[in-house]
Amino acid sequence: MDQLRVGIIGTGRISDLHALEYLENPRARIAAVCDNNLDIAQERGRRWGVPENRIYTDYHDLLALPDIDLVDILLPHHLHYQATLDAAAAGKHISLQKPMALTVAQADDMITAANKAGVIFRVFENFIFYPPVQQAKALVDAGEIGELLTIRIKSNSGTSATAWEVPASAQAWRFDYAKNGGGPLVFDDGHHKFALAWHFMGMAEQVHAWIGQTEIAPGTGMFLDSPAIVSWKFANNRYGSLEVVNSPEMAINTIYYAQDDRVELTGTKGVIWITRGHGNMLDVPPVILYRDNQMRTFTNVPSDWKYSFMNATRHFIDSYFKGETPRLTGEQGREVLRFTLAAQESAHTGQTVRLS
Ligand SMILES: NC(=O)c1ccc[n+]([C@@H]2O[C@H](COP(=O)([O-])OP(=O)(O)OC[C@H]3O[C@@H](n4cnc5c(N)ncnc54)[C@H](O)[C@@H]3O)[C@@H](O)[C@H]2O)c1
């Protein structure tokens, strides 16, 4: 078999960015789609060239197809658990959007199910495949800023006239904390920020968080988990922090979500800035390095956020054909989930959570 036949389960907002690499890469093909909203399934399926009789509203029908090798699960969080167990039982390889589950116990079951079925199970975390992050990691690994001491992540959200459209249905489950698993910013989007901290610094030993609650408009009952401050203690006297803040009247320059991020990595010899994420708040190069009294800029790094998705998808395809294990493994996804959940626990109890 020289082509991976992919079934996409959940063809909502983010599926557009998942499809990009599958449509371009000759070693993969979108061979079936499923969404319980038939209109959405048909709109995406037709656009991606999926035959009409392979567009489903019940994912069990897609899982029953013998010629599907991999399922890309892009469902709301509370459905990740059962869909993964069902996909493993059907013998399909699995790429599952973050966060893998709502609890660590669920994550354990999912890893066990995939291992028992002998299928590949990877958690899709695109931020570590974002080219500016890859560039920064290469610089850190090359010792350009010496020994890494701290990581500081800042996440802004606001409003945007240029952002892509997010349907109300994609917001509804996100503001239902029982379905999302936490808040839209610190838990849901926050997974990416915890994954970045884990990627650069390793697993934290201790986590502390204050997570505020702001109703998006009076009487809506929809609460954003902002402003928030999370602090991390890593092994060997290293630290980090995440600040998340929503500014409802701040316009953000983006073609994706009305959001942007920055990462600052400080080492014994210098500092690296990753100056963007979803958007382009700062008109500066995507990666900047300071050391030895001098600033070096990395201007040719692709910084459209879509490349994080394309690279993450290509990574799975390449790994599959090389017989290698793609990232995040289920176990790595579980670690990032545990890290992310620690902030939720700390915010609720007011206590520092010890992870090791
Ligand atoms: N990596 C990122 O940067 C990023 C960005 C956005 C979303 N996500 C993740 O992608 C996933 C989906 O998010 P989204 O924004 O596309 O949400 P969405 O609500 O737009 O899409 C989810 C889709 O699943 C469908 N669905 C719901 N129940 C179903 C069922 N039982 N069977 C089949 N289809 C069903 C819905 O109709 C919807 O179209 C989530 O895990 C989210 O965290 C990741």
Which residue's CA lies nearest to atom 19 of ligand 1?
Answer: 170
Q: Is the pLDDT of residue 356 over 90?
A: no
Given 70, 100, 124, the domain boundary residue is 124
Q: Report the residue count for the chain.
A: 356
Give the SS3 label for residue 100. coil
Query: Are 128 and 327 within 8 A, CB to CB?
Result: yes
Query: Do 180 and 143 lie in a common domain?
Result: yes
Bridge partners (DSSP) of residue 277 are none
Query: Do 136 and 268 lie in a common domain?
Result: yes
Q: Please tell me if the CB atom of residue 40 comes closer than 6 angstroms to any atom of ligand 1.
A: yes
Query: Are 186 and 156 within 8 A, CB to CB?
Result: no
Which residue's CA lies nearest to atom 11 of ligand 1?
Answer: 74
Rg (CA), the chain: 20
Residue 151, in any domain of the structure: yes
Q: Torsions phi, psi of 171, nearest 5?
A: -85, -35
pLDDT digits (tens, 9 = 90+) for 315-354: 999 999 999 999 999 999 999 999 999 999 999 999 999 9
Residue 314, in any domain of the structure: no
State the distance from the centre of ligand 1 to the C-alpha of 236, rounded, in angstroms.
38
Query: Do 96 and 152 lie in a common domain?
Result: no
Q: Please tell me if the CB atom of residue 72 comes closer than 6 angstroms to any atom of ligand 1.
A: no
- For residue 27, the enclosing domain spans 4-124
Q: Please tell me if the CB atom of residue 126 comes closer than 6 angstroms to any atom of ligand 1.
A: yes
Q: Please tell me if the CB atom of residue 92 comes closer than 6 angstroms to any atom of ligand 1.
A: no
Cα dihedral value 75, 76, 78, 80, nearest 10 = 20
Q: Which residues of 10-27 are buried (b: 16+ CB within 10 A; e: fewer)?
A: bbbbbbebbbebbeebee
- Name the nearest CA neighbour of 242 among 232, 234, 253: 232
Query: Do 287 and 246 lie in a common domain?
Result: yes
Q: What is the CATH number of the domain that holds 105?
A: 3.40.50.720
Q: Please tell me if the CB atom of residue 132 comes closer than 6 angstroms to any atom of ligand 1.
A: no
Which residue's CA lies nearest to atom 9 of ligand 1?
Answer: 97
| DSSP type of residue 172 | H
Q: Please tell me if the CB atom of residue 12 comes closer than 6 angstroms to any atom of ligand 1.
A: yes
Which residue's CA lies nearest to atom 30 of ligand 1?
Answer: 36
Query: Do 159 and 297 lie in a common domain?
Result: yes
Q: Is the pLDDT of residue 145 over 70?
A: yes
- What's the confidence (pLDDT) of residue 239? 98
Strands 238-251 and 228-234: antiparallel
pLDDT digits (tens, 9 = 90+) for 159-218: 999 999 999 999 999 999 999 999 999 999 999 999 999 999 999 999 999 999 999 989
Number of Cβ atoms within 10 Å of the Cβ of 333: 26
Given 85, 106, 124, the domain boundary residue is 124
User: 285 falls in which pLDDT band (50, 70, 90)?
Assistant: very high
- What's the confidence (pLDDT) of residue 1? 67
Residue 52, in any domain of the structure: yes
- What's the confidence (pLDDT) of residue 212? 98
Query: Do 89 and 210 lie in a common domain?
Result: no
* Triad 101, 203, 269: Cα angle to 5°: 140
Residue 154, in any domain of the structure: yes
Residue 317, in any domain of the structure: no
Query: Do 226 and 170 lie in a common domain?
Result: yes
- Name the nearest CA neighbour of 344 among 79, 111, 103: 103
Residue 150, in any domain of the structure: yes
Q: Please tell me if the CB atom of residue 82 comes closer than 6 angstroms to any atom of ligand 1.
A: no
State the distance from the centre of ligand 1 to the C-alpha of 113, rounded, in angstroms.
22
Q: What is the CATH number of the domain that holds 282?
A: 3.30.360.10
Sign of CA dihedral 83, 84, 90, 95: positive
Q: Please tell me if the CB atom of residue 10 comes closer than 6 angstroms to any atom of ligand 1.
A: yes
What average pLDDT does this structure show over 86-103? 98
Given the CA of residue 10, which atom of ligand 1 is nearest to it? 24
Share above pLDDT 70 across residues of the chain, in percent, rounded to a whole number: 100
Query: Do 70 and 90 lie in a common domain?
Result: yes
Sign of CA dihedral 13, 14, 17, 23: negative
Q: Please tell me if the CB atom of residue 172 comes closer than 6 angstroms to any atom of ligand 1.
A: no
Here the tokens at position 82 are 């059962």
Residue 318, in any domain of the structure: no
State the distance from the centre of ligand 1 to the C-alpha of 80, rounded, in angstroms.
10
Give the SS3 label for residue 245. strand
Total domains, the chain? 2
State the distance from the centre of ligand 1 to the C-alpha of 10, rounded, in angstroms.
6
Given 124, 154, 189, the domain boundary residue is 124
State the distance from the centre of ligand 1 to the C-alpha of 9, rounded, in angstroms.
9
Query: Do 65 and 183 lie in a common domain?
Result: no
Query: Do 99 and 153 lie in a common domain?
Result: no
Query: Are 125 and 333 within 8 A, CB to CB?
Result: yes
- What's the confidence (pLDDT) of residue 160? 96
Here the tokens at position 98 are 């973050």
Q: Please tell me if the CB atom of residue 42 comes closer than 6 angstroms to any atom of ligand 1.
A: no
Query: Do 222 and 290 lie in a common domain?
Result: yes
* Upper half-sphere CA count for residue 57 (Cβ side, 13 Å): 6
Q: Please tell me if the CB atom of residue 36 comes closer than 6 angstroms to any atom of ligand 1.
A: yes
Ligand 1 binding pocket mutation candidate from 15, 34, 36 (most atoms within 8 A of CB):
36
Query: Do 183 and 229 lie in a common domain?
Result: yes
> Which residues have a Cβ under 8 Å from the Cβ of 119 and sit 6 or more positions away?
87, 88, 91, 92, 93, 94
Query: Are 32 and 55 within 8 A, CB to CB?
Result: yes
Mean of the per-residue pLDDT values of the chain: 97
User: 81 falls in which pLDDT band (50, 70, 90)?
Assistant: very high
Q: Please tell me if the CB atom of residue 184 comes closer than 6 angstroms to any atom of ligand 1.
A: no
User: 64 falls in which pLDDT band (50, 70, 90)?
Assistant: very high
Residue 327, in any domain of the structure: no
